[in-house]
């Protein structure tokens, strides 16, 4: 049963790291990519990983804005696609980059430790569903009109077919990385997003997944922070996984 497995993994993860095993359905050896997602240098702006570039901005409001981006997105952010960069000492520059990253689907976190702690548990096979921010993938047509948005769950493990609870988002498509990383322009990226079933918004402000201001991004991050604290309660996790299906909107704290 899903709840029993969650309890076992939770106890095991309390004081030690489990040996990573790749998800057979993903075709990717997760262990090869584990460390870069769990370690962080607070002076670093960009870090090149096997499938993407980890980018961190440090807004003046505190916390970090974190995203994993392709070459096309790096160009959109006016960042080098070949040379690593460090954070800026200028808070205005950090705020500007943080907002532009949010517009590309990045998320605000109160600190790196909160992200890494729960990202590790996801990599180990704990199901988070709506408790963890989804992967939001954005494309802006060169025409300047509208935005394409495609999102999927951060979960690495699949749900059991017989389980009553169902995920509110599907997992990352198996061929996602290979196809999205082949896009050479933002328009090609939009085409790939469309092929995966992305939603088109004529006005970016109509998309609730893209904050219009840095403060909105922080508030959304705070909502997830409260949800993640729930996931640190073993009893809550067991009851949530074994309980009836609940929509993400009903479970998440209301926006204020």
Q: Please report the pLDDT score of residue 159 as a whole number.
A: 83
Range of the domain at 209: 2-14+26-240
Q: Please report the pLDDT score of residue 4 as a whole number.
A: 42
Using DSSP, how many helices (H) and how many strands (E) does the chain show?
10, 7
> Positive or negative, the Cα torsion across 110, 45, 214, 201?
negative
Asked whether residue 249 is assigned to any structural domain, the reply reads: no
Asked whether residue 116 is assigned to any structural domain, the reply reads: yes
Q: Please report the pLDDT score of residue 166 as a whole number.
A: 80
d(Cα 135, Cα 237) in Å, to the nearest integer? 22
Residue 254 is given by DSSP the state: P
Asked whether residue 197 is assigned to any structural domain, the reply reads: yes
Q: Please report the pLDDT score of residue 163 as a whole number.
A: 67
Give pLDDT tens digits for 80-103.
999 999 999 999 999 999 999 999
Tell me the CA distances in angstroms from 148 to 180, 206, 220, 221, 239, one per residue in order: 13, 12, 20, 22, 36
DSSP per position, 126-173: ---GGGS--EEEEE--TTS--EEEEEE----SPPPTT-S---SSPPPP
Asked whether residue 247 is assigned to any structural domain, the reply reads: no
Give pLDDT tens digits for 127-160.
999 999 999 999 999 999 999 999 999 998 888 7
d(Cα 87, Cα 55) in Å, to the nearest integer? 10
Q: Please report the pLDDT score of residue 160 as a whole number.
A: 78
Tell me the CA distances in angstroms from 25 to 123, 159, 160, one per residue in order: 14, 12, 13
Asked whether residue 221 is assigned to any structural domain, the reply reads: yes
Q: Please report the pLDDT score of residue 22 as a whole number.
A: 44
Q: Please report the pLDDT score of residue 20 as a whole number.
A: 35
**Residues lower than pLDDT 50 in the chain:** 1-27, 247-256
What the block records as the tokens of 222 is 């705070």
Asked whether residue 251 is assigned to any structural domain, the reply reads: no
Q: Please report the pLDDT score of residue 7 as a whole number.
A: 41
If one counts every other C-beta atom within 10 angstroms of the C-beta of residue 174, the result is 11
Q: Please report the pLDDT score of residue 251 as a whole number.
A: 46
Q: Please report the pLDDT score of residue 242 as a whole number.
A: 80
Asked whether residue 254 is assigned to any structural domain, the reply reads: no
Asked whether residue 145 is assigned to any structural domain, the reply reads: yes
Q: Please report the pLDDT score of residue 15 as a whole number.
A: 27
How many independent structural domains does the chain possess?
A: 1
């Amino acid at each position: 049963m899903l709840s029993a497995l969650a309890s076992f993994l939770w106890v095991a993860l309390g004081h030690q790291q489990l040996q990573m095993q790749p998800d057979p359905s993903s075709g990717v050896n997760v262990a090869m990519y584990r460390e870069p997602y769990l370690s962080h240098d607070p002076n670093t702006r960009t870090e090149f990983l096997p499938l993407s570039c980890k980018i961190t901005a440090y807004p003046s409001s505190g916390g970090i804005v974190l995203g994993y981006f392709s070459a096309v997105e790096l160009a959109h952010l006016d960042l080098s696609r070949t040379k690593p960069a460090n954070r800026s000492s200028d808070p205005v520059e950090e705020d500007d980059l943080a907002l532009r990253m949010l517009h590309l689907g990045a998320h605000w976190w109160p600190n790196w430790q909160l992200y890494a702690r729960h990202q590790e548990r996801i990599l180990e096979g704990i199901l988070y569903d709506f408790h963890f921010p989804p992967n939001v993938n954005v494309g802006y047509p060169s025409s300047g009109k509208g935005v394409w948005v495609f999102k999927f769950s951060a979960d690495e493990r699949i749900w059991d077919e017989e389980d009553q609870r169902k995920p509110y988002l599907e997992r990352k498509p198996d061929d996602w990385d290979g196809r999205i990383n082949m896009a050479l322009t933002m328009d090609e990226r939009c085409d790939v997003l469309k092929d995966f079933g992305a939603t088109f918004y004529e006005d970016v402000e109509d998309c609730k997944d893209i904050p219009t201001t840095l403060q909105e991004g922080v508030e959304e991050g705070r909502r997830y922070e409260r949800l993640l604290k729930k996931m640190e309660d073993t009893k809550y996790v067991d009851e949530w996984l074994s309980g009836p299906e609940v929509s993400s909107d009903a479970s998440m704290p209301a926006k204020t």
